[in-house]
A and B are shown apart, each in its own frame.
Chain A
Amino acid sequence: MLRKTFETELQQVKDNVLFLGSLVEQAILDSVEALKKRDMDASRRIMEADREINARRFAIENQVMVLIATQQPMAHDLRLLASILEIAGELERMGDYAKGIAKINILMGEQPLLKPLIDLPRMAQKDADMLHRALTAFLDEDVETARAIPQEDDEVDALYNQIYRELITFILQDPTTIERANWLLWAAHNLERVADRVTNICERTIFIATGEMAELDGAANGEENA
């Protein structure tokens, strides 16, 4: 077979994207879990682990650059490699959102949570689930699934709006809760952005498979909220 070496290297890059994705998925779930339990040590570990996410993103970029320089990819191969650069960037930013939530937990210090967390873990779970399926669709170049996932962004947006309204009522009742409400709102906003970036990954998957570069609805809705 003519392309054995190249195929092997392409597969390695894809595997590295999946591995990075799994780290990010876990970081999102862990960051909210740590906030929920007010576990400072766990949050510190998440902030530390973000370095690995960043390093892996650079490693993927480097691998892609080397393949572009040495293999002169064309057509589908070119779309795949160019998209991987984007996807690795999206994943790295999602990792930053998880790190941001870990930081909120540390900033809150000894202050108790304004309220028990119910919807934030739901958002995190939904994000992680969407991300996981988006990366599976990327691997399989499953256009149908890639088109369907962004529609679920509405659920994440609905949870965000619900959290927003709830926190506003806390603030209206007692303005001294402003700081604590704001921290939770910040965490919710981060989780809302994760779903938008999942949509971007789905757009890239469709581009890889079809060459069609189109904006999917989920992302547009998300931008309005931001």
Chain B
Amino acid sequence: MSSNFSSSNKAVDFNQMPDARGHFGPYGGRFVSETLISALDELESLYRRLKDDPEFQAQFDYDLAHYVGRPSPLYFAERWTKETGGARLYLKREDLNHTGAHKINNTIGQALLAKHTGKKRIIAETGAGQHGVATATVAARMGLECHVFMGEDDIHRQSLNVYRMKLLGATVVPVTSGSKTLKDAMNEAMRDWVTNVDNTFYIIGTCAGPHPYPELVRNFQSVIGREARQQSLAQTGQLPDALVACVGGGSNAIGLFHPFLEDESVAMYGVEAGGLGLESGKHAAPLNDGIPGVLHGNRTYLMEDENGQIIETHSISAGLDYPGVGPEHSWLKDIGRVSYVTIDDDEAMAAFRSLTKIEGIMPALESSHAVAYAEKLARQMDPDQMIIVNLSGRGDKDILTVAEIDGITV
């Protein structure tokens, strides 16, 4: 299957995005109150200075190798491929990282930036709790005070991760405003940051938010795609024909996609949460059923009502339950480089069960969306073709949710 990425877009230099003010085409930018501008300027100039600094890069690489356990394997899922029928299915095993998801790649990077600022207090927002755990982890390792904002509803459905964060020494701050989920946790983290900007570093967990966050999160997560590209060439002598990753804010997806953007033969699929189905309106798929707007410091596709109020989203997976998406995804959608599709709750659950049984790998419910779409895609492709699926996290954290669906009390 060849990419339908049109030749008219050849002039696009993906490495030159975003522009100096953080724009990906019409998206991204810096839509924040004046009080945050200086903190963002400071972060941006620090990042510019350290980005190409060999010492900083060496420290990042060292931590990823020895603390996170990278490179993560690119695993040929032979049995799953046979059962599915069609293209060969490979899993990029981000679930094997320390703390169990791709989130740690970014928190390691941002914690190194925090260290250079000398700020002793870390804050973060979290939905499923994976980013919260990854932040609490790096804060524990560096001896920094850590506060994680989490929607009250998410605290209930992700109680295991809440306890993990507490064990790691973090304070989990329940957020009771608005819809009590990830978007409100992000609002609350921004409020905290405005107030405590002198001593506080804000580690955003996804490739959204005001410039320079989408750029730096992408760059820290791009280790996923760089490894996958090398591993694919080393193991099969070819580039994959397609990449599949789930998209909430979209950091695991952009991390996998970005190093392949100039490989025109590689098709890319970002899988949004279809929830109870697009037609039901109860989903978290702004790229499929939203319109561009401004939230959390950037312009991007959003789920909103006719008055411009952000609406509540639904997904079985807390990590995808977000009404916005990283601005680079919005741009990649508009220029047609990446296809954005949806998988609903039931399809994701089925994929969770089948991958667990067939491969002995339990995917996070977020990643299960990518697994489900990859199955559909593989069946339309030839056996000599190859798909890489980003297995962005492991499913242990979701066991209680799955048990509840099965009517079992664990």
Do A and B actually bind?
Answer: no
Chain B residues with a Cβ under 8 A of chain A: none
Chain A residues with a Cβ under 8 A of chain B: none
